[in-house]
């Protein structure tokens, strides 16, 4: 059997190293499968680490692409070392050409350690700092070539001059190979190893002089303390040359791994480089992509036919492959995390975890990069992926290190996308690569006991029984990794008599708040060194949305605690328990802080900072996960003696901030930034504390009246410099529905009032807003509640007036003046003139959410017709459409398009005959016109039929019934989907976009009016006679949508503007990218007959999902877009709609009547 050579090798291998001006199409030739003389790999290989660990850590490498040396040093101390990584691979440290693109780092100019990522001194400091943290440094070494010939000459990042084949003091023309053309035949060994890789000047590595120079570079790095090397573009250097170079090193046995991109049929293969070191196994990463994009059931054979395990470097992606599509990358979201988890658990090769930055332009350099400098990476910015900080990754590094040296046991798979396996008697991993949660009992080789799930941020524990079994629910696209837990929190301390504590508790009580999703929550604790409560502890009571609380007597002096649901599920802080101090403590998402999450949250935060010696002080900040202000930030205003302040519209979110004089001096809290929250907060000498340092402002109006004499100053001049402004007067708050219009009179010295502060009290939250003019509009007020307002003025020098007296918002009263009409007019007469305004409801075929959304357009209710479910849409006509959507409104598009919004519902049609209901829905994938550069057509899950993603069909067949969408007795939705219903739904059909996957079923309400998983209320599609089939293409004559994407500022508001729509077919959209589904459902399954359908009708709504939540629906419901522009918690580059709760309330489309 012949396998064609993979195309465009140079672009695939070294896309970043090519010079754009002269990049040429690279032809490849040759065919046939080259036989590798490799030992066969068994399904359960025995691991041998290929990187020694003298520091006592594991062999996991963290590839920190384009991280500066200073940033790596800090991360080694705070994250990498504590997480248990053994090594960091840095980007190339040698001097290189200038330029913002990332690939300039791979075009050397000299072997000075002076790159845009830092200086030699900074590289040395990084090595030393990381070594103290137990982390070794592996340098990415570029020794195959120098800079590109078509770049000519210039000055490098370290000041060295260069020109074509002329690098003063290092290399001249005789030091480069004779071939001056680009590689054009990957089937010719000489061509690959002697010609130029996309213009890069190829060194004559057969020369002893060149070998000595390269060895000198390696020896310099070794003397600095580098632990090993990645040999970039090793495939283009003969293996014998590399062996000769390594023999010249001061440490000839130093670790190095070759980058040899193996391709079937080529003469150069990774195995021939094993004489001088390990080689990267690119087939491993490619296979991971294939498995996780298809089925992972065969992952156990991923080592078969590859390099020996103890000589293979493995990875999920690297800086080249994440950009050229050869492997998975961070844009795959949860699946990418699962692949990394598998790599860290499976005993094949030396694993390398990759961390870099987000990108849309594949050539773009790191965030903020200039031609000669890359700013320090910051994990507080969504621009950096920072995968090394994800709990799933740090947990799996721990798992990898703990199970080292064990073999695979107890393999299990479901024949599709769920697998589980053990590592000896030390650990057990479960991967769920499906769109639904999975609950089952697993058999392991673990001894009986309590085990911690190390990929859980909360340190959840599980009990393995004497038979080695445990039961768990693994979320969709989730994992579970068990290792032996420490002392369980239910055990009392062994050093203290539990009935006679040695330290009496303090008299002050502690109120502890816990963020809980359990239906019942208990806190198990001890005060000081006293006795533990009796397990499972004290019941906690609901406090506010998402939180429960309990008061612990005497707890203010210190409490050790863990939390549980009373049924075996624990949060014990990863077996460390929680150490709590203070009068009010919040435990959420694995962290304990002081505070009260249920206290009223102010809309603003006023930050105080000492005046100091800077002429000007600016605060540079971001709110929550939002964007930073433009450097240098916002100038702070005078507050009181020695203090400055600035008020930020925080809406209760945390603020990340630093301070600067705008001229290069910064206070960034020792590179950690400041985290600020609350209504008032002060920062001084690196410490953050609550409250204002200035004297309290009076809250009551003055008892004296304002002077009646006119001001003595010139008009327009200020009367309040150094004094409090006068109090605003005439405050009014007029309530109209959920909106209050608040107005007041400016004080007579208003020329000096630069802003007004308005405080609203009442409702669930207090509100505080700063405005420039004497009025505000306050929206979103709840009916039936009382709201009060007060206002104060503030001058340019920061001095503020007292607050005005409070007023209560009230509805406007009717005018008391008599009507101007003729009193004899009959009040019952109809007006004679039509109103001059337009209609208040959208036109037919539109809705309040957009002009092209429609439910039962033109009154259409489907039609009687027998349909053949065969994946051919020719029997469907436009008069059968019962719900119309628009193209390009998948919520993920508003944060970009990289994830491929291919579950974009466009229309839903209905029909029926004597026995069946028929449905057809159209799905579009218009990324070819909305973001053509993304390159997301039919491949890579670009068709919904390629992905195991749930659909929901919601039906209203009985107007007397209403299901919530939740499973009876739980807070979870059917199939784990976060969808609720208030629109009369009484039946749900659940099925996968990929036919033949899972257990598609119809759910009916039980006697209690809820859905459940009991056999009596669930009927499978096969047993019930439900059929569905997909086909390719688009059935309509127009395809209306907004031709934008999130990178261009596209927001859901654009959907309401008819002028922004266009026919995307006319824009060149390829219909082959679209998909439609046909389905037939026996009417009897829905409790219907033909007569009943035609006389009563039924309601239907189609929902497409992704992640845990609904992302699109027909009829369109705005709930699928309410969080579209917010960030998904696991991947900021995509939408929160994948995980939020959606409540569907719009009327269903009617079929029949």
Task: Please give the Cα distance from 109 to 146 (Å, whole number).
Answer: 6
Q: Pairing relation of β-strands 729-736 and 810-811?
A: parallel
The position carrying tokens 């359908």 is 1093
Q: Pairing relation of β-strands 634-635 and 584-588?
A: unpaired
**Cα angle for residues 423, 89, 232 (degrees, 5° grid):** 110
The position carrying tokens 């130029």 is 196
Task: Please give the Cα distance from 397 to 170 (Å, whole number).
Answer: 42
**Positive or negative, the Cα torsion across 1049, 1055, 1059, 1062?**
positive
Task: Please give the Cα distance from 539 to 563 (Å, whole number).
Answer: 10
Exposure of 363 by Cβ count < 10 A (0-12 exposed, 13-18 middle, 19+ buried)? Answer: middle
List residues bridging with 438 in a β-sheet: 474
DSSP class of residue 1073 equals G
Does residue 414 contact residue 998 with C-beta atoms inside 8 Å? no
Task: Please give the Cα distance from 1149 to 897 (Å, whole number).
Answer: 30
Buried b (16+ CB within 10 A) or exposed e, 998-1015: bebbbbbbeeeebbbeee
Task: Please give the Cα distance from 1106 to 947 (Å, whole number).
Answer: 10
What is the number of other CB atoms lying within 10 angstroms of the CB of residue 1053? 12
Annotated catalytic residue 392: no
Is the bond leading into 664 cis (omega within 30 degrees of zero)?
Answer: no
Question: How far is residue 1020 from each of residues 212, 458, 712, 834, 1025, measured CA to CA in Å?
Answer: 71, 36, 87, 57, 8
Task: Please give the Cα distance from 512 to 523 (Å, whole number).
Answer: 9
CA-nearest of 380, 377, 305, 385 to 353 is: 385
Token pair in block for residue 1011: 């859905």
Task: Please give the Cα distance from 105 to 96 (Å, whole number).
Answer: 6
Which of 9, 114, 259, 1117 is catalytic? The answer is 259
Task: Please give the Cα distance from 538 to 559 (Å, whole number).
Answer: 14
CA-nearest of 1040, 999, 1038 to 1022 is: 999
Exposure of 25 by Cβ count < 10 A (0-12 exposed, 13-18 middle, 19+ buried)? Answer: exposed
Annotated catalytic residue 259: yes
Token pair in block for residue 26: 């690279």
At what angle are helices 334-345 and 391-402 packed, to 10 degrees? Answer: 10
Which of 9, 13, 95, 232 is catalytic? The answer is 232
In sequence order, the 6+-apart residues with CB closer than 8 A to the CB of 1080 are: 867, 869, 916, 917, 918, 1026, 1027, 1028
At what angle are helices 120-132 and 208-224 packed, to 10 degrees? Answer: 50
Strand ranges (DSSP E) for 762-901? 767-771, 775-778, 788-795, 807-808, 810-811, 854-855, 863-864, 881-884
Q: What is the CA radius of gyration of the chain?
A: 34
In sequence order, the 6+-apart residues with CB closer than 8 A to the CB of 46 are: 309, 347, 407
CA-nearest of 905, 808, 846, 966 to 1105 is: 905
What does the longest C-alpha to C-alpha distance in the chain come to? Answer: 115
Q: Which residues are catalytic?
A: 232, 259
């Amino acid at each position: 059997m012949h396998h064609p050579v993979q195309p465009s090798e140079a672009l695939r291998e070294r896309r970043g190293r090519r010079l754009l001006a002269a990049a040429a199409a690279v032809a490849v030739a040759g065919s046939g499968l080259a036989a590798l003389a490799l030992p066969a790999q068994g399904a359960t290989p025995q691991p041998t680490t290929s990187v020694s660990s003298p520091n006592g850590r594991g062999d996991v490498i963290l590839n920190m692409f384009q991280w500066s040396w200073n940033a790596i040093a800090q991360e080694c101390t705070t994250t990498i070392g504590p997480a248990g990584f053994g090594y960091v691979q840095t980007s190339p440290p040698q001097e290189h050409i200038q330029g913002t693109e990332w690939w300039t780092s791979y075009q050397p100019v000299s072997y000075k350690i002076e790159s845009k990522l830092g200086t030699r001194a900074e590289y040395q400091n990084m090595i030393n700092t990381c070594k103290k943290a137990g982390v070794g440094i592996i340098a990415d070494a570029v020794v195959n070539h120098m800079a590109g010939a078509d770049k000519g000459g210039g000055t490098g990042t370290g000041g060295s001059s260069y020109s074509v084949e002329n690098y003063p003091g290092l290399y001249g023309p005789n030091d480069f190979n004779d071939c001056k053309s680009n590689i054009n035949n990957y089937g010719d060994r000489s061509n690959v190893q002697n010609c130029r890789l996309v213009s890069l000047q190829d060194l004559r590595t057969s020369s002893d002089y060149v070998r000595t120079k390269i060895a000198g570079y390696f020896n310099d790095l070794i003397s600095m303390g580098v632990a090993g090397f990645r040999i970039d573009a090793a495939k283009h250097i003969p293996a014998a040359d590399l062996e000769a170079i390594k023999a010249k090193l001061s440490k000839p046995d130093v670790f190095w791994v070759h980058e040899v991109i193996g391709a079937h049929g080529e003469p150069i293969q990774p195995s021939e480089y094993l004489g001088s070191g390990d080689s990267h196994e690119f087939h491993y990463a490619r296979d991971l992509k294939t498995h996780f994009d298809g089925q992972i059931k065969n992952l156990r054979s991923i080592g078969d036919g590859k390099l020996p395990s103890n000589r293979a470097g493995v990875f999920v992606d690297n800086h080249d492959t994440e950009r050229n599509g050869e492997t998975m990358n961070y844009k795959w979201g949860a699946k990418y995390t699962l692949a990394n988890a598998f790599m860290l658990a499976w005993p094949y090769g030396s694993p390398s975890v990759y961390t870099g930055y987000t990108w849309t332009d594949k050539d773009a350099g790191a965030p903020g990069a200039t031609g000669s400098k890359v700013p320090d990476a910051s994990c507080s910015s969504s621009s950096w992926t920072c995968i090394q900080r994800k709990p799933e990754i740090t947990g799996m590094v721990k798992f990898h290190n703990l199970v080292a040296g064990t073999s695979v046991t107890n393999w299990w798979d479901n024949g599709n996308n769920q697998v589980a396996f053990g590592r000896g008697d030390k650990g057990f991993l479960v991967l769920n690569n499906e769109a639904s949660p999975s609950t089952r009992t697993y058999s392991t080789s673990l001894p009986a006991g309590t085990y911690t799930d190390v990929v859980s941020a909360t340190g959840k524990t599980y009990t393995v029984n004497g038979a080695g079994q445990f039961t768990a629910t693994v979320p969709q696209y989730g994992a579970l990794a068990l290792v032996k837990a420490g002392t369980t929190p239910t055990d009392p301390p062994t050093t203290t008599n539990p009935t006679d504590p040695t330290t009496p508790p303090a008299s002050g009580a502690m109120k502890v708040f816990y963020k809980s999703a359990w239906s019942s929550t208990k806190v198990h604790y001890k005060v000081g060194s006293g006795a533990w409560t009796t397990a499972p502890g004290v019941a906690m009571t609901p406090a506010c949305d998402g939180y429960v609380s309990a008061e612990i007597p005497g707890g203010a002096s210190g409490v050790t605690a863990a939390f549980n649901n009373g049924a075996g599920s624990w949060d014990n802080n990863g077996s460390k328990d929680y150490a709590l101090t203070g009068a009010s403590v919040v435990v959420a998402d694995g962290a304990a802080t002081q505070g009260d999450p249920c206290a009223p949250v102010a809309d603003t935060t006023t930050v105080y900072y000492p005046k100091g010696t800077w002429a000007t002080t600016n605060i540079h900040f971001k709110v929550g996960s939002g964007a930073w202000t433009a450097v240098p930030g916002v100038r702070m205003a005078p507050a009181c003696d020695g203090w400055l302040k600035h008020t930020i519209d925080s809406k209760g979110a945390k603020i990340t901030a630093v301070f600067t004089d705008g001229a290069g001096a910064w206070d960034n809290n020792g590179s950690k930034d400041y985290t600020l929250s609350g209504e008032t907060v002060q920062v001084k000498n690196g410490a953050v504390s609550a409250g204002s340092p200035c004297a309290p402002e009076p809250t009551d109006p003055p008892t004296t009246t304002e002077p009646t004499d006119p001001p003595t100053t010139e008009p327009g001049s200020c009367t309040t410099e150094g004094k409090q402004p006068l109090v605003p007067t005439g405050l009014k708050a007029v309530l109209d529905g959920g909106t209050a219009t608040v107005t007041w009179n400016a004080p007579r010295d208003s020329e000096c009032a630069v802003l007004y502060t308005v405080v609203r009290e009442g409702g669930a939250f207090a509100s505080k807003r700063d405005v420039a003019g004497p009025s505000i509009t306050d929206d979103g007020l709840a009916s039936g509640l009382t709201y009060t307002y007060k206002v104060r003025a503030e001058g340019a020098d920061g001095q503020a007036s007292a607050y005005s007296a409070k007023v209560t918002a009230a509805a406007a009263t009717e005018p008391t003046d008599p009507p101007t009409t003729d009193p004899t007019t009959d009040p019952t007469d109809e007006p004679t003139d039509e109103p001059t305004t337009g209609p208040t409801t959208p036109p037919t075929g539109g809705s309040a959410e957009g002009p092209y959304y429609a439910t039962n357009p033109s009154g259409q209710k489907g039609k009687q017709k027998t349909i053949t479910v065969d994946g051919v849409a020719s029997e469907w006509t436009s008069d059968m459409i019962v719900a119309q959507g628009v193209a390009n409104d998948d919520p993920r598009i508003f944060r970009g398009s990289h994830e491929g919004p291919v579950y974009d519902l466009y229309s839903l049609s209905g029909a029926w005959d004597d026995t069946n209901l028929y449905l057809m829905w159209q799905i579009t994938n218009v990324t070819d016109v909305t973001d053509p550069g993304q390159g997301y057509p039919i491949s890579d899950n670009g068709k919904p039929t390629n992905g195991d993603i749930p659909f929901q069909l919601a039906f209203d067949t009985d107007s007397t019934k209403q299901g919530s969408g939740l499973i009876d007795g739980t807070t979870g939705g059917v199939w784990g989907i976060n969808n609720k219903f208030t629109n009369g739904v009484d039946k749900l059909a659940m099925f996968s976009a990929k036919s033949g996957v899972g257990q598609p079923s119809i759910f009916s309400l039980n006697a209690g009016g809820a859905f459940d998983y009991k056999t009596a209320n669930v009927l499978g599609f096969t047993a019930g006679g439900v059929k569905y089939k997909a086909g390719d293409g688009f059935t309509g004559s127009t395809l209306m949508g907004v031709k934008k994407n999130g990178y261009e500022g596209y927001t859901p508001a654009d959907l309401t503007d008819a002028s922004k729509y266009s026919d995307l077919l006319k824009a060149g959209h390829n219909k082959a990218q679209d998909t439609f589904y046909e389905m037939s459902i026996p009417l009897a399954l829905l409790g219907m007959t033909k007569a009943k359908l035609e006389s009563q009708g039924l309601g239907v709504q189609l929902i497409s999902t992704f992640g845990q939540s609904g992302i699109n629906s027909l009829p369109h419901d705005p709930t699928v877009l309410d969080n579209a522009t917010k960030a998904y918690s696991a991947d900021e580059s995509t939408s929160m709609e994948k995980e939020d709760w959606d409540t569907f309330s719009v009327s269903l489309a009617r079929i029949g009547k």
